[in-house]
Structure 1
Amino acid sequence: MLLLLPSFSSSSATSDSDALLSRWLTGFDVAWVLDMGKGSESLPRREVGRRVRVWAQALSTMERVFRKRHRHLTDAQVACLGNLASASATAMLKLAGAVAKLRNSPSKLLALLDVYVPVSEAFPVLARMFSWCPTHPVPAAVDATLAALVDAARRCGKDLRESVRSQAQWYPWRMPQGGEVHPCVGFWMGYFRCLLRNSVTLYFVLGNEGKEEEGGLGMGLTLVPELVASLEAVLEEKAAALAFPGLRHVFMLNNTFAIVRRAVRSDLKLFLPRDWVRVREQRMEGYIKAYLEASWAPVVARLGLDTKPAAVLQRRRTSRRLSAFYSAVENACGAQRCWKVPNPVLRGILRRTVSENVVPAYRRCLEDHPEVDVAGERTAEELEQQLSDLFEG
C-alpha cells in the first residue's frame, strides 16, 4: 500500500491513479466494482449474493487496513492515504447503487440489508478518520446511497407479501400428492430466517414505513407475522386442489406442523405474537378432527351403533353392517395408502387418534353381537394393526 500512496497525491496523473486503484481493489477481489452499473441488473441472483458477501468482507478488511496504517504515517502520507480511501470508497459505493437499482425481488431485499449495514457502519468511520466534512464527495454520496437503499428496501417490503403468494403459486415446485410438506415451506421459512440476519436493520429501515396504517407499529414490526400468514394462505389454496377432503386436512396438518417447528427452533419465534404457537396448535387439533370426520366417521357409521333394530331383524342387519364396515375400512385404507405424515411424532398421534375413534366402536359392536358370523371377520386387535400402517406414504 505504501508504494501506491505517491500516485494518490493531489498532483498525480488520473490515469495512473485509476490503474493503481484497480490493482489495489484486485487485492481484495473486488476490482469488479469499477464496472458495476454496466449491465449489473442482469446478474443472476446467486451471483449478486456472492458479490455482496465478498464486497462486505473486503470493505471491512479495507477499513481495518486504513485505520492501522493511518497511525504510522507522516502528514503528507496521510493526505495521500485519504485520497486512496476516497477513491476506494467511491468505487465500493457502486455496488450499493447497483443493488438498489435491481428489479424488486425477495433476494434483492436480502442484498439490500446486507449492503446497508457496512455502508452505514464503515463509511462514517472513514469520514472521521480522514476528517471528511459533510460536503465532501464521499459522505455526500453515502447519504444519497443510504437513502436509495432505504427507499428500495421499503418497496421490496411492500412487494414481499405478494412475492410469497406468487412464487409459491407459480414457482416450479411439485405439489406433493401424499399430503406431505410442500417445498415452498422450507424455502420461505428459510428465507424469513435469512431476513432476520439483519433484524435490527430490517426494523430500522422498515419500522417507520406505514406507521399510520399500522397503528404506530410500522411495517417492520408486523412484516414477519404477515409473511407467514401469506404463506399459510397459499397452502390453504393448494389444499383445496387435492382430491380427498381428508387428504386436504392431512396436508394442512403436515405443513402447519412444519411451519411451527421451523419457527420455534429459530429466532423467528422472537418476532411472532405471543399466542402465535397456541393458535397454530389449535388449528392442528382442528385439522385432525376434520380429518376424522371426513375419512373415518362415515366408516364407523356403517356399524349402526346408534340404531336399535327389532330383535327379529337384528342378526341379519348386524351382519350386513359388519360387511359394509369391513368394505369401508378397506376402501379408506386403500385410498390413504399413499398419504404420508413424515414426522414420526405427528404420525404416531394421528394413528393413535384414528385407532381410538374406530377400534373401540368396532370392539363394542363385536361384544354386543357375539352371535353374528361374518365371512372375513377380524378381531379388534387385527383392525388396530391394520390402522397402524397408515401414513407411511
Structure 2
Amino acid sequence: MALFEEISGSFARETNMLCEAISTTMKDVRTFMEDDDSWAIEIPRGGGEVHKNTRLMVGYIASMTDTLVSTRDFAPSHSTGNLSGLVDDTVKYLNDLLQRKSELCLDLSLRYLFLQNNSYFVATRDIGHGDSEHHQGLELTPECKNHMDSYLGVSWAHVISSVSKSNPSGPLRRWLTNTSSLAKFESAFHKTYQAQKIWKVPDPRLRDALRRAIIERAISSYNDHLKKHPELAEHASRGNSTPAVLEEMLGQLFEG
C-alpha cells in the first residue's frame, strides 16, 4: 500500500510539473502569435486560406488535450483541472486572435473569407485526436454562419442591387433602364469574379456551400429579372452572360 501511494504521489508530482511546463510554453506561444508580422502578409497572399499559425495553434491544443486525457486517466488532480481550463481558454484565445488579426486585411471580402476558413478549421477539428476531422457532413457554427453572411453581404449585395427593380413608364424608357441594369449587373459580377477567382477555400464542403450560397443569391436574382423582362434574355445570351454561364463560372471559384 505504501509503495502504491509513493508511486501515485510521484506520478502526481510529475503531472504537476508537466502541466506547469505546458502553461509556460503556451504563454510563450501567445507572445509569438501576437508579435508575428506574417499575418498582414500571409492573409492576402494566401487568398484567405487557413493560416499557418492557425494550424500551429490547433496542433498545440490537440497535444494539450491528448496530455489531459492521458494524465486524467492515471492521476486525476488539481493540475489536470487547470490543464482542462487552459485548453478551453486557448480555444477562446485563438478565435479572438483570428478576429483581431483579420482586421489587418483591408479588403472586407477577403477578411470575412479568411475568418470563415479559419474559424471553420478550428470548429471542425477533433481536438482530442490531433488534426483529424470529426464531422462527416457540413456543420457550420453560428460564428461560421455569421462570417459567411458577412462575406456574401460585402461581396455580392452590390452585384444583386445592380439589377434594377424600377419599372419606368413607357416602353423605350423601360427598355433603356433594364438594359442599363443588365450591363451594370454583368460588369459588377465579372469584376467581383475576377478579383476573387484565385482566393482559396481549402475544405471542399465549405467551398461547395459557399458557391451554392452565391448562386442562390446572385444568380437567382438575375434569373428572376430575366424572366420578368424576357426581352433582355436574348441580350444576355449574345453577351455570353446567361445564368447558366455565370453559374458555371462560380463553380470555379475558391480553388486557389
Tell me the TM-score normalised to structure 2 length. Answer: 0.78
Quick check: 1:309 aligned with 2:178?
Answer: no
Which residue does 2:135 correspond to in 1?
none
CA-to-partner distance for each residue in 1:294-345, whole Å, 9 max, x for gaps?
100110000023x332234211111111111111011101111221001111
Counterpart check, 1:208 vs 2:78:
yes
Q: Pick from 108, 111, 115: which aligns with 1:248?
A: 111
Question: Partner amino acid for 1:192?
Answer: I
Q: Do the aligned residues in 2 keep the contact of 1:181 with 1:251 (CA within 8 Å)?
A: yes
Please say if residues 302 and 324 of structure 1, whose CA atoms lie closer than 8 Å, have aligned partners that are also in contact.
yes
Q: How has the CA–CA distance of structure 1 residues 225 and 148 changed in structure 2, closer, same or farther, with 3 Å as cutoff?
A: closer
Which residue, 184, 188, 199 being the options, matches 2:68?
A: 199
Q: Which residue of 2 aligns with 1:349?
A: 209
* Larger Rg computed on CA atoms: 1
Counterpart in the other structure of 2:16: 150
Using a 3 Å threshold, how does the CA distance of structure 1 residues 282 and 200 change in structure 2: closer, same or farther? closer
Residue 262 of structure 1 aligns to a residue whose secondary structure is coil
CA distance in 2, matches of 1:244, 1:205: 50
Partner Cα separation in structure 1 for residue 76 and residue 154 of structure 2: 44
Give how far 1:241 is off: 1.3
2:31 to 142, 166, 174: 166
Q: Percent identity?
A: 26
User: Structure 2: 5+ residue runs without aligned partners?
Assistant: 133-137
Tell me how far apart the structure 2 counterparts of residues 302 and 163 of structure 1 sit (CA, whole Å): 50
- CA contact 1:250–1:291 (8 Å) conserved in 2: yes
Q: Distance in 2 between matches of 1:166 and 1:202?
A: 27
Residues 206, 219 of structure 1: 8 Å contact kept:
no
Bigger relative contact order, structure 1 or 2 (CA pairs below 8 A, ≥6 apart): 2
CA RMSD of aligned residues (A): 3.6
CA deviations on 1:129-181 (whole Å, 9 max, x unpaired) are 9xxxx9xxxx9xx97x9769736844752773x44432223346562320000
| Structure 2 counterparts to residues 221-236 of structure 1, below 5 A | 221-236=84-99
Please tell me the residue identity of whatever aligns with 1:310: S
Once residues 209 and 15 of structure 2 are traced to their aligned partners in structure 1, the CA distance between those partners, rounded to angstroms, is 48
C-alpha change, 1:226 and 1:206, in structure 2 (3 Å) is farther
Cα distance change, pair 378–200 in 1 and its aligned pair in 2 (3 A)? closer
Separation in 2 of the partners of 1:201 and 1:377?
Answer: 61
* 1:223 CA displacement: 1.8
Report Cα offsets for 1:347-382 as digits up to 9, x if no partner: 111111111111111111112122244672521111
- For 1:175, the equivalent position in structure 2 comes to 42
Equivalent residue number for residue 196 of structure 2? 336
- What does residue 83 of structure 2 align with? 220
Residues 181-213 of structure 1, C-alpha deviations (whole Å, 9 max, x = no match): 01012212111222233315766999637xxxx
**1:72-117 superposed Cα distances (whole Å, 9 cap, x missing partner):** xxxxxxxxxxxxxxxxxxxxxxxxxxxxxxxxxxxxxxxxxxxxxx
Q: CA deviation at 1:260?
A: 2.0
2:149 to 277, 286, 289: 289
